[in-house]
Amino acid sequence: MITTSIQPLEAPSPAYICPLDQACSYLEAAARELKLDQGLLQVLSHPRKVVTVSIPVKRDNGEIEILAGHRVQHCDVLGPYKGGIRYHPAVTLREVSALAMLMTWKCALLGIPYGGAKGGIALDPKRYSVSELERLTRRYTSELIKDIGPSVDIPAPDMGTSAREMAWMMDTYSVNVGHAVPGVVTGKPLSIGGSLGREMATGRGVMIIVREALADQGKSLADMRVVIQGFGNVGSAAALLMHEAGAKVIAVSTGSGGVYSETGLDIPALKAYAAENRRSVVGFPQAIPINNAELLTLPCDVLIPAALENQITEENVNQVQAKIVAEAANGPVTLIANQSLEARGVTVLPDILANAGGVVVSYLEWVQGLSYLFWDEERVNRELEHLMVQAYRQVINHSKTRQIPLRLAAYTLGVGRVAQALTDRGLYP
């Protein structure tokens, strides 16, 4: 029997906010601030290449299922495309297009010689066996074989994928070209050219940016009350590092629910509990159950949305009590909600800055792979720290100089650098 997961397009719910529309709104705001030429804005608004492939996969029961896989390459004016591969039921072409665009500005903001890309397959990885995931990952890679490469487009893990999937992608690509190519992906296992420090990189980057923002307010992480929505790779890493720095992580959640403790959660114990309970924190002892909606509105010093987009909207923004919101996820705060938070004096640390630690260490892994010289974890973390702090300082200074919010400052820096490079290179022919 042949089945397909490709569904007909349906009208989105009234509460749905299209990530691509939101990304374009931020681009347009930056373009107005920069007074960009309208033609240049049109170039930056459109991805250079969009690839959608059909992925037939044989399930373990013998049935054949057809999945749709996407890869959007937004802009390579600064260097090869770079971006994650996402396995999640909510993956759409418009979402992937938005994330590819954000990756372009993120890389430019951090001074990394990459352009933005993103890929994904609309599936729930929990519904597939390891052998099924391997087969569909390898087929997806083979379908993209002409569109990826260490000098063309370098995928990385994202939501629903990990070092395991990157190993399969690296092997599939290498077998097809006839020799090992460790630089074709990043986020690989250490045994095949991965980098020390990569697993904690995004969470570490979030911690660094929050720490710097608190320092500008004359505070430190010690005793700060932190709430984290999402306890996957990013959220759990940020939670552990902040816990080690003396912060009180009072609440965390996963898709199935969350836990709360007024005196602070034991994060190492919580990580161990989640590892034994299919990544869920529900039922963790010595904590009170809490749902995701309640978690976002808890009184706290720092709120870190580290799950999906569109979590803080105009419907719940007035209940948000955090003094700092650090976007560890991509687009967790909607445009209107962001304006509301800024108007109330809440510090919003934008995603293209706050969650850039992953792409920074991906870049460092790529550099190590191309040179076949590998660094110790201390050096990787030192390089990450330098680039994150440097970018934060540039955003803060830009915000003060232009008297604009942090998000707009980050976007004008990123978009402006790409626009300048495009102007210098010119249009072909």
| Residue 59 amino acid letter | R
Computed over every residue of the chain, the mean pLDDT equals 93
Contacts of 143 (CB under 8 A, 6+ apart): 53, 54, 55, 69
Matching fold, domains 45-183 and 201-354: yes
User: Bridge partners of 86?
Assistant: 120
Question: For residue 33, which amino acid is it?
Answer: E
Apex CA 253: angle with CA 252 and CA 259, to 5°?
65
- pLDDT given at position 16: 59
For 149-162, write each residue's pLDDT tens digit: 999 999 999 989 99
| Average pLDDT score over residue span 237-265 | 95
Is 63 exposed, middle or buried (CB count within 10 Å of its CB: 0-12, 13-18, 19+)?
exposed
Q: Where are the domains of the chain?
A: 45-183, 201-354
> What number does CATH give the domain 45-183?
3.40.50.10860
Residue 1: the pLDDT is: 44
Cα-only R_g, the chain:
21
Q: Kindly tell me if the per-residue pLDDT of 41 is higher than 70.
A: yes
Residue 244 has pLDDT above 50, yes or no: yes
Per-residue pLDDT averaged across 308-329, rounded? 95
Paired sense of beta strands 324-326 and 225-229, if any? unpaired
Three-class DSSP category at 201: helix
Of the candidates 118, 188, 248, 271, the residue annotated as catalytic is 118
Do 380 and 196 touch, CB atoms closer than 8 A? Answer: yes
Distance, in Å, from the CA atom of 76 to the CA atom of 58, rounded to the nearest integer, reads 35
Residue 309: the pLDDT is 87
pLDDT (0 to 100) of residue 259: 96
209-233 pLDDT per residue, tens: 999 999 999 999 998 999 999 999 9
Bridge partners (DSSP) of residue 64 are 2, 58
Dihedral, 232, 234, 240, 241 alpha carbons, nearest 10? 180
CB atoms within 10 A of CB 220: 13
DSSP letter for 77, please. S
Task: Answer whether 215's CB lies under 8 Å from 239's CB.
Answer: no
Residues ≥6 apart with Cβ < 8 Å to 110: 356, 359, 360, 387, 388, 391
**CB of 271 closer than 8 Å to CB of 243:** no
Would you say 224 and 232 are in contact if contact means Cβ atoms under 8 Å apart? no
286 pLDDT tier (thresholds 50, 70, 90): confident
d(CA 328, CA 350): 8
What average pLDDT does this structure show over 391-415? 97
- Checking DSSP bridges between strand 257-260 and strand 248-254, what pairing results, if any? antiparallel
pLDDT value at 92 more than 70: yes
Beta bridge partners of 347: 324
pLDDT band at 19; cut points 50, 70, 90:
confident
b/e string for 157-174 if b means 16 or more Cβ within 10 A? bbbbbebbbbbbbbbbbe
- Is 118 a residue of the active site? yes
Confidence of residue 308 (pLDDT cuts 50, 70, 90): confident
CATH topology of domain 201-354: Rossmann fold (3.40.50)
Place of tokens 């990544």: 279
- Model-level pTM greater than 0.85? yes
Quickly state the pLDDT bin for 24 (edges 50, 70, 90): very high
**What does the block give as tokens for 41?**
């804005």
